[in-house]
Structure 1
Amino acid sequence: MKKTNPVDCFQCQYFYITWEPNNPRGCKAFGFKTAKIPSQVVLETSGEGCLKFENKQQPSPPKAPKRDGWTA
C-alpha cells in the first residue's frame, strides 16, 4: 500500500523557493534542495511523514490608528 503525503510544504515556514532550475524547492529544516516537494522526499526516504512541519506565521492585521481629539 502506497503512503500518501498529508503535509503541504507551501504552508510550512521552512519551505522556500530556490534559484536553481534543477532543484527549485528547498527545506530549511532538513537543509536540502529538490525538484520534488520536500515532504514527498522525506516520506520516500524515511517512510514517515514530515515531523518538522510548522505553519507559517500569519501577520497580524494592522491596528487602526488611534484617534484622539479633532482631525481635519
Structure 2
Amino acid sequence: MSEAQRVDCMKCRYFYVTWDPKFPKGCKAFGFKSHSMPSLTVLSSSGKPCMNFEPKDGLRAP
C-alpha cells in the first residue's frame, strides 16, 4: 500500500482506545474493536483502504 492510500486512524474522528486489553483499538464508524489499527483490519477484510476516514476537529485531511 502506498503512502497516499495509507489511513492514519490516530487522526480520525471515529478512532478510539478501548479498555479491552485484547482489542485495544476501536472504530466507531464500523462498530468494531481490534488488536491492530482499524484501518489495517478494514484493508485486510475488504481489500480496500478505509473510506470512512474523517479528520478530527481542528485537523486537516491528509
Q: TM-score, normalised by structure 2?
A: 0.86
Cross-structure match for 2:17: 17
Give how far 1:58 is off. Answer: 1.4
Percent identity, please.
51
Aligned-pair Cα RMSD in Å = 1.6
How far, CA to CA, are the matches of 1:48 and 1:30 in structure 2? 14
Distance 1:58 1:21 in 2: 29
Could you tell me how far 1:10 is from its partner in structure 2?
0.1
Describe the superposition over 1:8-40 as per-residue Cα deviations: whole angstroms up to 9, x where unpaired: 000000000000000000000000000000000
Structure with higher Rg: it is 1
Q: Does 1:40 align with 2:60?
A: no
Partner amino acid, structure 1, of 2:53: F
SS in 2 for 1:45: helix
TM-score by length of structure 1 reads 0.74
Question: How many residue pairs align between the two structures?
Answer: 57
- Residues of 2 paired with 1:41 and 1:35: CA distance? 9
Letter in 2 for 1:53: F
Query: Which segments of structure 1 move beyond 6 Å, counting only runs of 4 or more?
Result: none
